[in-house]
Amino acid sequence: MSPTPAVLDGPALWSAQAHIPSVLGRQLVIERGEGSFLHTTDGRRLFDGTAGLWHANIGHSHPALAAAAHAQMLKLETYHIFGRFANDQALGLAERLAGLSPITDPKVILNSGGSDAIDVACKLARRHWQREGRHSKTIILSREHAYHGLHAYGTSIAGLDFNREGYGTESLVPDTARVPVHDVDALTATIAELGAENIAAIVTEPIQGTGGVNPPAPGYLETLQQLCRKHDILFILDEVITGFGRTGTMFAAERFGLQPDLVTFAKGVTSGYAPLGGVLVAPRIWQPFYRGDAATPIFRHGATYAGHATACAVAVANLDVLDGDNLLHRVTELEQLLDSRLKQLAARRPSVTDVRVAGFLGGVTLTEDIKAERAADALIELGFISRPLRGNTLQLSPPFITTDDELTAFVDAIDHVLSEEETR
């Protein structure tokens, strides 16, 4: 069967994470943002119930961030940070991040986003053990339903099978394995089966996002950390979604009392106003690379836009807004309201099988007969953006500047859609 003309005649842009024939002709073209709302080229005004891809924490089109980018570009758009070179914005942001870090006395590796950060963190974990002379420690463990971006390492450690399929091997990067999402006994058994002497690191999101908004089972993350310490396995915390306030603390590590070896970050560091991410690195890992003698090793990381001066200036302005507008406290208020409203929704809608809230992150799981994709499309028609996630789940993660009335209206819109679906 030959391709349809609609597929061949589509726009030049190849949309991300899309079954192309299903989205062509249905795409929403965003042309403007204002606070918690977006405007499309066909005249719609939509509440951004997902904060873009979990990143628009301070809302859209904030003048302070635009001003920071403009001023920096007029001064110096960027200069690389390779070798002897650095730029003042990258140095300043790194100091700011080190002061906010859940890791004591960290070094900060900067790059362009979350997928970059995961690749760097996994490579650094393996490089650490090779430098230590423990050459068998190469396996990277991750959890079922995990999402860690779509670079080679992120694809390889994904706990969402559909992101690993179709490339000819079970894992693009060798030596990866996955463990059940909350099962400590299964994790312990996997470590015993693979041998702790062969495991370099365990990577986990503190709260799984794309996998369905899955908060950790009580005590799970703490036990995972204890197992890492017991078996000399590096503990990598993927805070690309949760970092910079999404859980009501600057990092989820603080909320759960964790002390990871490596923390990856991105999205919230600039609220999406510029592409930037990175890794916070604990002293036990960075110190050998700073020894200062002829035998000091080199960790070969770095990309053209690592430490991009304009992106760093935007990040600093974003952190100022988070602090100056007391938005982390606002997140704790919104979490309580979201939790209350979703529990009420679940109590009156038989189509809801579960609701989960952790920080200002919510998931609404639906019965099999009501597809999350269809519900999300119906919400668009009412002026609200949600997103279907794994497990037939609707995502709720609006900007931190969301008002109580806006959040209530969002949940009410979901209620309305489900009521209509239940009577179809």
Model confidence pLDDT, tens digit, residues 63-87: 999 999 999 999 999 999 999 999 9
Strands (E), 180-223: 199-204
Give the pLDDT of residue 1: 47
Q: Which domains are assigned to the chain?
A: 5-58+326-422 (3.90.1150.10), 64-324 (3.40.640.10)
Give the rounded percent of residues in the chain with a pLDDT score beyond 90: 96
Give the pLDDT of residue 10: 84
CA-nearest of 51, 140, 3, 85 to 359 is: 51
Give the pLDDT of residue 8: 73
Give the pLDDT of residue 6: 52
pLDDT band at 188 (very low <50, low <70, confident <90, very high): very high
pLDDT, tens digit (0-9, with 9 covering 90-100), for 168-183 = 999 999 999 999 999 9
If phi > 0 it is left, if psi is from -120 to 50 it is alpha, else beta; for residue 314 that is alpha
Amino acid letter at 66?
A: A
Q: Average of pLDDT values for 286-298?
A: 91
| Residues 241, 245, 246, 248, CA torsion sign | positive
Contact yes or no for 130/95 (Cβ under 8 A): no
Place of tokens 């009420």: 344
**Residue 146 DSSP symbol:** -
Euclidean distance between CA atoms 408 and 153, whole angstroms? 39
Give the pLDDT of residue 5: 52
Euclidean distance between CA atoms 101 and 282, whole angstroms? 10
pLDDT band at 368 (very low <50, low <70, confident <90, very high): very high
Helices 88-100 & 309-324, crossing angle to 10 degrees? 40
- What pTM did the predictor assign? 0.96
Give the pLDDT of residue 424: 84
Q: Average of pLDDT values for 126-155?
A: 97
CA-nearest of 363, 356, 108 to 243 is: 108
Place of tokens 């899955």: 214
pLDDT, tens digit (0-9, with 9 covering 90-100), for 216-274 = 999 999 999 999 999 999 999 999 999 999 999 999 999 999 999 999 999 999 999 99
pLDDT, tens digit (0-9, with 9 covering 90-100), for 205-232 = 999 999 999 999 999 999 999 999 999 9
pLDDT band at 422 (very low <50, low <70, confident <90, very high): very high
**Quick check: 3 pLDDT over 60?**
no
Euclidean distance between CA atoms 250 and 236, whole angstroms? 17
Contact yes or no for 118/179 (Cβ under 8 A): no
**Quick check: 282 pLDDT over 60?**
yes
Place of tokens 């490089």: 127
Mean pLDDT of the chain: 96
**Quick check: 2 pLDDT over 80?**
no
Place of tokens 């679906």: 421
Residue bearing the bigger pLDDT, 9 or 209: 209
Euclidean distance between CA atoms 105 and 198, whole angstroms? 28
Q: Average of pLDDT values for 359-385?
A: 98
Give the pLDDT of residue 7: 66
pLDDT, tens digit (0-9, with 9 covering 90-100), for 100-112 = 999 999 999 999 9
The token duo for 299 is 């960790």
